Amino acid sequence: MSNKIQKSEAEWKAELSEEVFRILRKKGTERAYTGKYDKHYKAGSYHCAGCGEHLFDSDSKFDSHCGWPAFDAAAAKDKISEERDISLGMLRTEVLCSKCDGHLGHVFNDGPTKTGLRYCINSASLTFKPKSN
């Protein structure tokens, strides 16, 4: 991606809240069922809390009962990137914002919709923009 955002850890730390920095830049996670977007179903779009990149749409959001916001597709394939994650003694696929490399969550191939995907995303890594009428 040609417009990749590159900032120092100090710059990110100065711009983000402690919790958002911990999740986006240090690959943390929020406790299940505590995020503000877990049970949020308003029409609109979800954006990276670090750089504002449009990542997911409300049309792809579903209740996965996993405790984190779940989506079955990204807004566009080039908006996210994936990396192998072997932390915590298990093999998972980490999801990152393609524009700023912020950690968003993980994707699993056990989704109930036609895509078969479940993007399990931290609320703290997202902001929401309501759909304008």
Whether 11 maps to a domain, the answer reads no
Catalytic position from the list 48, 51, 97, 120: 120
SS3 66: coil
- CA 68 to CA 120: how far, in whole Å? 6
Nearest alpha carbon to residue 45 among 12, 75, 80: 75
pTM of the model: 0.93
Confidence class of residue 89 from pLDDT cuts 50, 70 and 90?
confident
Does 120 qualify as catalytic in the annotation? yes
Q: Give yes or no for residue 2 having a pLDDT over 70.
A: no
Whether 17 maps to a domain, the answer reads no
Given a contact cutoff of 8 angstroms between Cβ atoms, the answer to whether 80 and 94 are in contact is no
The CA-based angle 78-83-89, given to 5 degrees, is: 155
- Residue 78: its pLDDT value, please? 95
Encode pLDDT of 91-133 as tens digits.
899 999 999 999 999 999 999 999 999 999 999 999 999 998 6
Q: How many domains is the chain partitioned into structurally?
A: 1
Whether 15 maps to a domain, the answer reads no
- Range of the structural domain that residue 63 is part of: 31-130
As a 3-state breakdown, the chain gives helix, strand, coil percent values, each rounded to 5, of 20, 30, 50
The backbone torsions φ and ψ at residue 51, rounded to the nearest 5 degrees and listed phi first, read -130, -10
Q: Which CATH number covers residue 69?
A: 2.170.150.20
Whether 26 maps to a domain, the answer reads no
Interval 19-41 mean pLDDT: 96
- Residue 1: its pLDDT value, please? 44
Whether 13 maps to a domain, the answer reads no
Whether 103 maps to a domain, the answer reads yes
